Amino acid sequence: MGRLKTLFTGQWADLSLADLAAKASGWGYQGLELACWGDHFEVGRALTEPDYCQKKLDLLEKHGLDCRAISNHLVGQLVLDVLDSRTDAWVPTDIQGDQKAKSAWAIEEMKRTARAARKLGVDVVNGFTGSSIWHLLYSFPPVSPQMIQAGFDLFAERWNPILDVFGEEKVRFALEVHPTEIAFDIQTAQRALEAIGRRPEFGFNFDPSHLHWQGIDPVRFLRTFPDRIYHVHIKDAAITLDGSSGILSSHLDFGDPRRGWDFRSPGHGGVDFEAIIRALNDIGYSGPLSVEWEDAGMDREYGAADAAQFLQRIDFASSGRKFDAAFGGD
């Protein structure tokens, strides 16, 4: 059977969980990674309604589905981001437009997410951290080392109290290493771990698509952080540089054929998933493989079904023995 094959529900929040669960089961998934938006998993209701979590589990079980992780990317982003009106829809109406209030609310909501995850019976929360220094990526006007260090210090200041609650609840937070986050590549991931004293509550939701288009080897990421891979997203990307647009994408939206790169349905881009599966086997990862489906050029229901079949093809176990062991004696 191999690793649990799941679908992340974040890109499907326009559908009810009941409708999506039926579809996902029909496509061949074995579980869902529940997003904390739409009606898929509501943190507040999980904490205040005694039967809320059990009803979610019963719904999934009805369709033969499991749940091993929930995800709260949107709220996590608010903890550190330089906030503006783009994120007002993610917060209660009475704090929209108030950057300090939004961050303070997000810090408490992420603590509540850890408690809600424990009530649901899962031990991984995937998400984002945000970053107060992402806008300083290109060092002009000149950026001092102290300014960058201040960003990592602020990360530790705001996330350590959240991670304290994760530790109390025996739940791990898995950052999806991603542009606009405090960690977006191998070097910044190492620095983020150092900033919080490498505490065990913090690790990574490995998503090779975000590394691939940056020119970072996803397999090297896995081998650099073998004990910090708490969850895995299966998502692909294609680099489409043609001499016109660059890797920074020229302010062109996803799906625009003029972009220098774009996301693809798994198996339809440039990510070497066989190498990734071999590396996951080597580091002993046995958690879910969760499709995060994003492909502006493909019908999503076709793509989700195709991705489920792709997962079944690519996942394989290690042999557990040398290939020429049969040549020997006893």
CATH number at residue 145: 3.20.20.150
| Mean pLDDT calculated for residue range 215-224 | 98
Q: Where are the alpha helices (DSSP H) in the chain?
A: 17-27, 43-48, 52-62, 73-78, 99-120, 145-169, 186-195, 208-212, 218-224, 273-283, 300-314
Residue 134 falls inside a structural domain: yes
> Which tens digits make up the pLDDT trace of 35-60?
999 999 999 999 999 999 999 999 99
Distance of CA 132 to the CA centre of its chain: 19
The amino acid at 110: M
Q: Exposed/middle/buried for 259, CB within 10 Å: 0-12, 13-18, 19+?
A: buried
> Which tens digits make up the pLDDT trace of 277-293?
999 999 999 999 999 99
Spatial CB neighbours of 289, under 8 Å, sequence gap ≥ 6:
3, 4, 5, 6, 232, 234, 311, 315
Q: Tell me, what DSSP letter sits at residue 326?
A: G
- 119 lies in which domain range? 5-319
> Which tens digits make up the pLDDT trace of 144-158?
999 999 999 999 999
The amino acid at 11: Q
Residue 324 falls inside a structural domain: no
- Could you tell me the two tokens for 107? 């810090």
Query: Which phi and psi (to 5°) does residue 203 adopt?
Result: -150, -150
Distances (CA, A) of 56 to 7, 39, 63, 95: 16, 10, 11, 29
> Which tens digits make up the pLDDT trace of 14-33?
999 999 999 999 999 999 99
Residue 327 falls inside a structural domain: no
- According to the model, what pLDDT value does residue 105 have? 98
- According to the model, what pLDDT value does residue 2 have? 85
- According to the model, what pLDDT value does residue 330 have? 56
Mean pLDDT of the chain: 96
Residue 70 falls inside a structural domain: yes
Flag whether pLDDT at 240 surpasses 70: yes
Query: Which phi and psi (to 5°) does residue 289 adopt?
Result: -110, 115
Flag whether pLDDT at 137 surpasses 60: yes
The amino acid at 133: I
Q: Compute how many other C-beta atoms are within 10 angstroms of the C-beta atom of residue 218.
A: 20
- Note whether 19 and 46 are within 8 A (CB): no
Give dist(CA 186, CA 175) in Å, integer.
13
Residue 326 falls inside a structural domain: no
- According to the model, what pLDDT value does residue 318 have? 86
Give dist(CA 282, CA 262) in Å, integer.
29
CA torsion angle 317 320 324 329 (round to 10)? -150
Give dist(CA 308, CA 24) in Å, integer.
9
> Which tens digits make up the pLDDT trace of 85-109?
999 999 999 999 999 999 999 999 9
Instruction: Return the closest-CA partner of residue 267 out of 327, 309, 316.
Output: 309
218 prior amide bond cis, ω within 30: no
Residue 263 falls inside a structural domain: yes
- According to the model, what pLDDT value does residue 319 have? 77
- Note whether 173 and 203 are within 8 A (CB): yes
Flag whether pLDDT at 231 surpasses 70: yes
Residue 325 falls inside a structural domain: no
Residue 329 falls inside a structural domain: no
Q: How confident is the model at residue 304 (pLDDT cuts 50, 70, 90)?
A: very high
> Which tens digits make up the pLDDT trace of 168-194?
999 999 999 999 999 999 999 999 999
- According to the model, what pLDDT value does residue 279 have? 98
Q: How many domains does the chain have?
A: 1
| Mean pLDDT calculated for residue range 298-314 | 98
Please measure the distance between the N-terminal and C-terminal CA atoms of the chain and give it in whole angstroms. 30
- According to the model, what pLDDT value does residue 324 have? 65
